[in-house]
Structure 1
Amino acid sequence: MGISSPGIGSGLDINGIVSKLMQVESAPLADFDKKSASYLAQVSAFGNLSSALGAFQGALSPLTSLSSFQSLTATPSDSSVLSASATTKALPGNYRVNVTQVAQAQTLASGGYKSTTSTIGLGGTTTINFSLGSVSGGSFGLNGTTLGAGVLTGGLTPGALTINGTAIGTDGSTRSARLLADAINAKSGTTGVSAKAAATVTSATLFGAAGASTFGAVDTSGGGTYALTVGGVQVASQAAGVAAGAAGSINAAALDTALTGDTAVTRALADANITVSGSAAAGTLQFTNADGANINVSEAVSGAVTGGIGNSGTANSGSSTTAISAISLVSADASPITVGGTNPAAAGLTAGVGGAYQGATFAADPDRTSGNIVIDSKNNTLQGIADAINKGNFGVTASLVSDGATGTNATPNHLVLTSSATGASSTMRITLSGSGGNPPDADLVNLLGYDPGGTQNLSQKASALDTLANVNGIAVSSSSTSISGAIAGVTVNVNKTGSSTLAVARDTSTLTTSVNGFVKAYNDLNNQISQLSGYNADTKTGGPLLGDSTVRSLQSALRAQMSQQLTGLKGNLTNLSQVGIAFQKDGSLTLDSSKLNKAITSNFNDIAGLFAAVGKTTDSDINFVSSGASTQAGDYAVDITTLATQGSLTSAAALPATTVIDSDTTWTVKLNDTATASSTATITLPAGSYTPSQLATELQSSINGVSSFANAGWSISATVGADGTLKLQSNRYGAQSNISLNDDTGTSVASVFGAATPVAGVDVAGTIGGYSATGDGQTLTGADGAPVAGLKLTVAGTAIGSRGSIGFSQGYAYQLNTLAGNYLGAKGYINGRTTGLNQSVKDIGKQKDALSARLVDVEARYRAQYTKLDTLVASLNSTASYLTQQLASIAKNG
């Protein structure tokens, strides 16, 4: 192809002509770019608007709940003792709280074992049952033995005894159990341990044995004298010159006469706190001092005397014996007692840590779970037992702890059991039973058998305690470290013992912050809308969304909702101006703090209704739960046709006085059956004889101890009615509430419940505002398509028919939050607008591409046409040149 240079032959500027023509042809491309830029600017602006509206909605979200406006503060004077939180049901006031005990869980520990994996026992199948309950009566502590003999003469030296690390104030004068108990009690405020002296009793053989008296007739005929004193009281005396058997002589019978009835001697002994039992004649005479003081029995003799204690007809040179008793220690909170000191044995105690329940009884708590594990040859080790307990998940956790002891005979490993929950009713009782008629493995019994009212083979390291406190002079208790209900609407969380005041007050600061937050959120949005859609008269420029219908619609809707008076609201406040919120000329909001403060003072509880969605019922047993996006404000009557009930199973007849449960008894329980595995479980009932109440407690604890039930929030109550029947009832309401039992092994279900038929629960039914509603348990929800759609109520109580009404209102923050939601999100108006704009940009791009493609053809056509013109003009120029030359030649030749 040859080189082309358009215009050389013709002299025409072909490229310039075509270029200018193409500039004219491509002019629409600039319009396309301008339109696309405008649309993209609007998309960006809508992005800013969406961001601002999202921030506005985020600021509104917390304002749609009551808690943002009706919260109260609970401020303790000593936060190290307690903290507290208050709900909207609390009443402002000042309270005095004195905490004397903090709740804790019980901990038990076994003796030491060499290894955690060595077998324990013979491997026979043993079922171990864990029950949780409370201990009553008796005490927890240690019983000492008789004080050491040296105490009578030398007392207890200082430092001889310490209790829980505190030295007891003893010295040379501490010569009786009573004085030692007094010394221990003087420190009980520090040690938490009190002491009681056992009654002091003289020797049972002092005056005889085997029914024969050893008190010989006293003879002072040889010129001597005789006197018998008991505890410093002279009970008998004989002057000189009195022969045995003569008038005025002392023998066993005379001694009994002096110690019987209302005599001067018995009165003097009573004044010394000494009582008399038995008789000298029978050889059973004993003296007792109930307060533990020593009792000295002595014979004072002068001269020649025969007879007396242990002496018949032989010389008596006098005698003296002192009876001394022992002490017992009681822990105030049932914690282990640590005994130490330089000579605790002299106090009748053994150094170390110990303590056990004495004279107590255990009662299982039906509200606490119980459970069973089976130990056999597969898991009869400390580790296996701990794993089985933890897998059971029935309120007791197990761990293995080493005390660090070393050596050939060391036994450092201990099984430690701890109640999962705190509180006095979480005390453990562990019973063991065998299988197939065989007894439980003896070694397992020695390891785990524990009954506060009986044998205690485990040692208690920490007792199960309730929190004890005094609130404004009223004693209160709680099974946890939280106390609820003592102060209405307030939960007190206890940290330690001590005293603190608690000030409950309206949280006006949070309310004020919430209202200010509402005003600021609106003004921020209004400012952004103004920037995006306003017109600046100074610069004569408008925002990218000036005149946009979506923005105008949003702005108009915002102002309309802010200006209208709320409907369905029950209270003294119905519009924003009553709390000082008003529009300014520029469309922003202003807040009059004085008006707000006045509203807070006069109508604190009504302010929430201006902002949040609020439902107020006239029936206290019907409560507003929530509403839906379609719920309309209004006052709606509530009519109940059916009350929700709970599923139950009741025995066909009254239970006998005693029900025997055989060994290896297992039952299958179906609770709130929804055809899922979690609604079915197997329970094991410990073998034994049960009273009706005991059986009810065992069933309730066993069923509630099933982890899958507990995880689902399900439980049952077991009660014995006035007619003696046993009733199991699900805690759930509604058609999905049910319970059934089937026997697997051992005692049959029919032997307890007879031909009982389970009764399923029913859902609540009724109408709201005359519109149909759907029941689910105790929850009644307005049906779709009605003004009450999504309005959710819980219905309790016992009445059917008209149950008053509910006034439902949607506060400004709630309505604006809903409004913002209509503009935001994938289905929101803003997304629809930006989708349209982006589509317009795409369409313009397509039009621009089409035009660009056409312009290529146009330019090619122009070039083809002007190329032809160029050739033609060049040809004409050539012809003209030729003719000019020829004409010039003719002229020259002519």
Structure 2
Amino acid sequence: MASISSIGIGSNLDVSSLLTQLMAAERKAPTARLDSASTLNESRISVLGTVKSALADLQTASKTLSRTTTFQTRTASVGNSDALAVTASRLAQPGSYAVKVDQLAQTDKLATASFSNAFESVGSGTLTISFGSYDATGNTFTANADQPTTSITIDSTNNTLAGIRDAINAADAGVTASIVGDASGQRLVIAGDDSGAANAIKIAVADSDGNSTDASGLSQLAWDPTAAAGSGANLSHVVSAQDAKFSVDGLALTSASNVVGSAVTGLTLTLKQTTSSATTVTIERDDNQVVDALGAFVDAYNSVASAIQSASGYDSEQEKGAPLIGDSTILAVSHRLRGLLTSTLASSSNSSYNSLKSVGISLQKDGTLTLDTEALTTALNSNADAVAGLFLAAGTATDSRVNVALSTSETKAGTYAVNVSAEASRGLMTGSALGSSAPFTIDSSNDSLTLSVDGVSSNAITLTQGSYASGADLAAQLQTRINGDAKFKASGVGVSVSWDNDHLVITSNRYGSASKVTAASGTAASAFGLSGASSTTGTDIAGSIGGVAATGSGRALIGTGDAAGLRLDISGSGTGDRGSVTFTRGFGDLFSSLLDDMLASDGAIQLKSDALSAEGTRIEDQRTALEDRMTTLEERYRKQFERLDVVMAQLQATSNYLTQQLDAWTSSSSSSS
């Protein structure tokens, strides 16, 4: 019998429709179950994302409350703003000051004679720029050892007026060069970057024409204020370096800069013009930032409460729970936040301000917060420092030589005794005694030096040739040249050089075991007792915090145990007890740490998010497996229908055959009758 080529022909049944309906029935229940699970999981992911976003906003608000600057904002007003500008930091105490400006600070400014154009050749050789104080009465120049000395090579590539300007500016020598001119000619103007009487400019020239002080060649740029015009003082003095002179409440003060940050603690005065009488500076506490910060915290917390309610609450009217109702992670987040809100700070130094309620923040029956700004303002007016302490992580030392510099989330609140068992020291190099006495001469035979400071090796340093009247003058020259080295400046390395009776001592500016001065070499090292000189490495401070040995780093003690992460900067000299440090954690810091923990990459919210993502993947895997099962089932049903079709076709064929035979038999019987 021929095979059936199209399913359903043999049985005369609509097998395709039957298969479609049958498979739809098979898919309906498990597909609905997976769709429901997927919808619920996506809803959970969505509401968890809303909770996470709200927690992140609360984290930001909490960090604002954990910053000292939030609680110590000051406003400053000035009677005569044309003469004076004032900014106030958190350290400024409210009050008023009478400020009178008698003289403004100025930078030194020098100018060359006129040249025909900016590209006229000047000369070649070396310019050495240094700084110091000029005393016109005694006609003396005293080098400023705190300012570096810089040498600049002038050759055929840069010996024009413009080339020298560019070479000076590229050298980072503490001055700025420019060309000023008109129809009558061009002049090179050299201005100091720093103002103040101690920053007068001196320019020594090594002129390739052999005469380094005359008014020709490169020595036209020579400037020694103690020399005669045309013989080393070859520039015009446009502006003389001078200090600012002013008074605060009648107390006469000076400053090298017109921006003064040391006159009154917390105030920066910018002197703009002289005054004939004092102007009043008024400093007031600004509480607006505190009110705004606490308002932002309350709003952020209420957003979290709303997000948690939407994620895990129950709608009694619709008798339906939210996607994460009963979820342990959301419940834990809610309980931890509310527990902290209603807690009291046992470590607070002021029992009147040891809870959020004491400054006007109250938890309502519906789980939200309210801020009573009137109560907050009253608290700030009563004791602003206590209010700040309620929110900050802060340490207070009883000894003025101890500064609480840093803490971490591991530092526990408490009072810790501080003891110094060994002071920190700086690394130094002690030169050998010099056989000769002052004056000391530096010339081409002994002007080169290299050394290593704090592990950084210098470039070749060239000392300024000349005669130095004393060991202190020689030490000042070495200090300015060493500190002017480009590698040292780039690395923040510096030294102080002193003269000790008959030898030089070079001391690193750094404290601790990384502080060292070594490997002096060059002709200057040989000439001035530094070649093979003994070096002493610095040592770290040693001591304890809270009776537990601390780690020393330079002049800092870093706590261990309960004081882990507490960093104390120790100043002054002497060993023994340094009083105690009381460290407290306020609500801003506590909320910030709690939220950091919740929102960390391995925190509760992320773990829940990962679990929901994994659940979504599992559902999709189940959907794929269902489709695979349905495909297999459909194929099995199809084969069964094919077999049914064959059987039905065979039965139909048999039926047709029997019908034919019966018809034939009936016809035959009729004919016989």
TM-score, normalisation: structure 2: 0.89
1:868 aligns with 2:643: yes
2:244 counterpart of 1:432: no
- Determine if the alignment matches structure 1 residue 626 to structure 2 residue 401: no
Structure 1 position 566, deviation (Å):
2.7
- Distance in 2 (CA, whole Å) between partners of 1:69 and 1:471 is 27
Question: What residue number does 2:418 align with?
Answer: 638
Let me know the Cα RMSD of the aligned residues: 3.1
TM-aligned CA deviation for residue 852 of structure 1? 0.9
Q: Distance in 1 between matches of 2:374 and 2:429?
A: 62
1:561 to 332, 337, 340: 340
SS at the partner of 1:758? strand
SS of residue paired to 2:203:
strand
Q: What residue number does 2:587 align with?
A: 812
Note the alpha carbon deviations across 1:724-771, whole angstroms, 9 max, x for none: 6543322211112222473423x5545356874222211122232334
Match of 1:595 in 2: 375
Q: Which 5+ residue runs of structure 2 have no aligned equivalent? A: none
Structure 2 counterpart of 1:670? 451
Query: What SS class does the counterpart of residue 486 from structure 1 fall into?
Result: coil
Q: Using a 3 Å threshold, how does the CA distance of structure 1 residues 656 and 598 change in structure 2: closer, same or farther?
A: farther
In structure 1, C-alpha distance between the alignment counterparts of 2:519 and 2:16, rounded to whole Å: 101
8 A Cα contact 1:10 1:870, kept in partner: yes
Task: Give the conservation status (yes or no) of the 8 Å contact 2:442–2:465.
Answer: yes
Is the 2:4–2:646 contact (alpha carbons within 8 Å) kept by the matching residues of 1?
A: no
Aligned ranges 1:305-344 → 2 under 5 Å: none
Q: Displacement, 1:109?
A: 0.5
Report deviation, 1:466. Answer: 2.2
Sort the Cα spacing of 1:375 and 1:20 in 2 relative to 1 into closer, same or farther, 3 A.
Answer: closer
Match of 2:517 in 1: 739
Are 2:242 and 1:465 aligned? yes
Contact residue 431 and residue 528 of structure 2 kept, 8 A? no
Contact 2:213 2:222 in 1 (8 A): no
Partner of residue 206, structure 1: none
Deviations 1:418-475 (A, max 9, x none): 1111122211122335699x65374247512222233232112222232222211122
1:766-797 per-residue CA deviation (whole Å, 9 max, x = no partner) reads 232334432221122235xx333322221122
For the structure 1 residues 661 and 434, does the alpha-carbon distance in structure 2 shift closer, same or farther, using more than 3 Å as the test?
A: farther
- Structure 2 Cα separation of the partners of residues 853 and 685 of structure 1: 89
| Aligned partner letter, 2:269 | V
The reply on whether 1:616 has 2:396 as its aligned counterpart is yes
CA contact (8 A) 1:570 1:616 kept: no
Aligned-pair identity (%)? 35
Aligned to 1:527: 306
In the alignment, the residues of structure 1 paired with residue 627 and residue 298 of structure 2 have an alpha-carbon distance, to the nearest angstrom, of 53
- After the TM superposition, which residues 92-171 of structure 1 pair with which residues of structure 2 at under 5 Å, given as runs? 92-121=94-123, 126-138=125-137
Residue 420 of structure 1 corresponds to 193
1:448 maps to what in 2? 221
Amino acid at match of 1:731: N
Please tell me whether the aligned partners of residues 449 and 525 of structure 2 are also in contact (alpha carbons under 8 angstroms).
no
Equivalent residues of 1:823, 1:830 under 8 A apart: yes
Alignment match, 2:479: 700
The structure number with the bigger radius of gyration is: 1
Residue 767 of structure 1 corresponds to 544
Mapping of residues 211-250 of structure 1, within 5 Å? none
Change (3 A) 1:566 1:750: farther
Deviation string 1:651-699 (CA, Å, 9 cap, x unpaired) is 444883422223454343435332x45x555242322132233223222
The 1:386–1:758 alpha-carbon spacing in structure 2 relative to 1, beyond 3 Å, is farther
Distance 1:748 1:627 in 2: 44
Deviations 1:604-633 (A, max 9, x none): 112222222212222221111122232222
CA separation in 1, counterparts of 2:196 and 2:337?
54
Query: Which position in structure 2 is the counterpart of 1:76?
Result: 78
Of 59-68 and 702-711, deviating more is 702-711
Q: Would you say the 8 A contact 2:488–2:494 is kept in 1?
A: yes
Alpha-carbon deviation of 1:93?
Answer: 0.6
Partner of 1:161: none
User: CA deviation digits over 1:482-540, x for unaligned, max 9?
Assistant: 11222122111223334532111222222222222222222222222222222222233
User: 1:642-653 counterparts in 2 under 5 A?
Assistant: 642-653=422-433
Change (3 A) 1:743 1:13: closer
Question: Are 1:660 and 2:661 counterparts?
Answer: no
- Say which is worse superposed, 127-136 or 646-655, in terms of deviation: 646-655
Q: Distance in 1 between matches of 2:6 and 2:639?
A: 12
Helix, strand or coil for the counterpart of 2:386?
A: helix
1:653/1:725 contact within 8 Å kept: yes
- Are 2:563 and 1:782 equivalent residues in the alignment? no
Paired residue type of 2:227: G
Q: In the superposition, relative to structure 1, how do residues 638 and 102 fare at CA in structure 2: closer, same or farther (>3 Å)?
A: same
Alpha-carbon spacing, 1:741–1:494, altered in 2? closer, same or farther (3 Å): farther
Contact 1:419 1:426 in 2 (8 A): yes
Letter of the 1:630 partner, please give it.
E
| Total equivalences in the alignment | 657
Q: Residue 638 of structure 1 aligns to which amino acid in structure 2?
A: V
Q: Distance in 1 between matches of 2:25 and 2:16?
A: 14
Residues 165-199 of structure 1: per-residue CA shift (max 9 Å, x gap): xxxxxxxxxxxxxxxxxxxxxxxxxxxxxxxxxxx
Query: What is aligned with 1:486?
Result: 263
Q: Secondary structure of the equivalent of 1:648? A: strand
- Whole-angstrom CA distance in 1 between matches of 2:450 and 2:384: 51
**1:133 partner amino acid:** G
SS at match of 2:562: coil
Taking the aligned partners of 1:753 and 1:880, their CA distance within structure 2 comes to 125
Task: State the TM-score, normalizing by the size of structure 1.
Answer: 0.68
1:543 aligns with 2:322: yes
Summarize the Cα distance change of 1:713–1:504 in structure 2 as closer, same or farther, 3 Å threshold: farther
Deviation at 1:38, TM superposition (A): 1.8
AA at the equivalent of 1:591: L
Letter in 1 for 2:570: V
Q: What SS does the corresponding residue of 1:440 show, helix, strand or coil?
A: coil
- Give the CA deviation at 1:550: 1.7
Alpha carbons 2:64, 2:588 under 8 Å: kept? no
User: Is 1:66–1:608's contact at 8 Å kept on the other side of the alignment?
Assistant: yes
Note if contact 2:521-2:530 (Cα within 8 Å) is conserved in structure 1: no
Contact residue 398 and residue 415 of structure 1 kept, 8 A: yes
| 2:360 pairs with 1:580 | yes
The whole-number CA distance in structure 2 between the counterparts of 1:379 and 1:20 is 93
| Matching residue of 1:607 | 387
**Structure 2 equivalent of residue 25 of structure 1:** 26
Q: 1:636 Cα deviation (Å)?
A: 2.3
State whether residues 459 and 485 of structure 2, in contact with CA within 8 Å, keep that contact through their aligned partners in structure 1: no
Task: Tell whether the 8 Å contact from 1:518 to 1:813 is kept in structure 2 after alignment.
Answer: no
Contact 1:738 1:758 in 2 (8 A): yes
Matches within 5 A, 1:701-740: 701-720=480-499, 723=501, 726-740=504-518
1:48-59 map, 5 Å: 48-59=50-61
**Cα distance in 2, alignment partners of residues 869 and 434 from structure 1:** 116
Counterpart amino acid of residue 191 in structure 2 = T
After superposition, give the CA deviation of every residue in 1:108-143 in whole Å (9 maximum; x if it has no partner): 11001234444435x5xx5433221223345xxxxx
Partners of 1:94 and 1:466 in 2: CA distance: 25
Counterpart residue type for residue 84 of structure 2: L
Q: 1:440 to 1:579 in 2, by over 3 A?
A: same
Contact 1:403 1:413 survives alignment (8 Å) = yes
Secondary structure of the structure 2 residue equivalent to 1:623: strand
User: Equivalent residue for 2:149?
Assistant: 370
Equivalents in 2 of 1:662, 1:421: separation in Å?
29
Deviation at 1:84, TM superposition (A): 2.1
Q: Distance in 2 between matches of 1:401 and 1:890?
A: 136
Which residue matches 1:346? none
Report the Cα distance in structure 1 between the residues aligned to 2:373 and 2:463, rounded to whole angstroms: 67
Within the candidate set 609, 622, 626, 1:834 is matched to 609
Structure 1 alignment gaps of length 5 or more: 139-358, 406-411
